[in-house]
Amino acid sequence: MKIFITGTSGYIGGMLADRFAENQEVEKIIALDTNSDLATRLPSGNRVALVQHNLGDPGWEEKVLAAGRPDVVIHCAYVIREGYGKKRAWQIKSNITAAEKVFDFVSKNKIPRLIHFSTVASYGALPGNSTNYKFKESDPFREEKYLYGADKKIIEEKLKAALQPSSATQVLVIRPCAITGPRGQFMFKRFGLLRAVKFGLPVVPVTGPDSARQFVHEDDIWEAVRFMADGEVSSKYEVFNVAPADFFLLKDMAKEISKLSIRVPMWLGKLCFGVLWHLSRGRIPTVPAGINSYTYPIIVDGSKITNYGFKYQYTGREALKADRGYYSRFVDK
């Protein structure tokens, strides 16, 4: 089996390349990213072919095919932090145009299987949301302001138009909630919102009475992708929320990480998001519009994939604690 993975210097793409490299049944891994230090982040060996390229630019298709036509394409690439200060045209090229080119590549070359990473953020963090309702895959996407959720919505629409169930390719869409675990918190050390809250801030600010977060363990993401890549899902075009059943109200999350919570008005939270966004130059993904997803809960029902035989190994609480799993050897002692 040959696997082409995009975004392999990132948290998830790099993890997938790392884990698939252990499987001797995987003949070739084609790893693509824009980063020049790609080779230092991935397993070495002749089974891994490295391609440094922006998916929005022409020319990468030939480089990928030089290693042989992939059996599975896993599209993880998405630029979010590096979008700080960039013009909208650059963001569109790096994310939306890039995705279109991947879908076109899959269609033209009749790739048997595409696994595409989307997000639960596209359901929309709106004032009417409640922890009493879990979004299902059939619910409409409503996000308009938060670019990550809005652009991922556009990308899913383009995916469906490009690769309808009648195409030669099986399409499997993963909509994960917040992914974390020992790799994310201690090895990759992505300085995101969770890391800022867990390791940076002295208290956890709560901007809404129903503010909540849902976490999925990185090992469960790997297992879900492996499950799909191995052909365990028979449907031609399927979408899956990937999230365990439990979730945290932010005030309870604060207790879980041994911190106090403090209620702050939403306008102040929005101001703080903007300050962090600019001071970190986008390294902390706190765009001002992101305050909605921090305030209004997006809790999803991730049970659909279990109907195909998949089993979650970890709860959201275990994902947040991040002391168990494949990468637990990197946990700071």
In the prediction, which pLDDT does 189 show?
Answer: 65
pLDDT at 200 (0 to 100): 77
**Run of H or E residues at 54:** none
Choose the CATH number for 2-189+214-246+300-323 among 3.40.50.12280, 3.40.50.720, 3.20.20.140, 3.30.565.10: 3.40.50.720
265-302 per-position pLDDT tens digit: 999 999 988 898 888 887 777 888 889 999 999 999 99
Question: Mean pLDDT of all residues in the chain?
Answer: 92
Least confident segment among 111-125, 182-196, 236-250, 306-320: 182-196
Per-residue tokens: 78: 């998405």
Are 142 and 293 contacting, i.e. CB atoms less than 8 angstroms apart? no
Handedness of CA 105, 106, 108, 112 (dihedral sign): positive
CB 60 within 8 Å of CB 8 = no
Each residue's pLDDT tens digit, 64-122: 999 999 999 999 999 876 567 778 888 899 999 999 999 999 999 999 999 999 999 99
Would the pLDDT of 251 be above 80? yes
pTM: 0.94
DSSP code, position 21? T
Listed by start position, the domains of the chain span 2-189+214-246+300-323
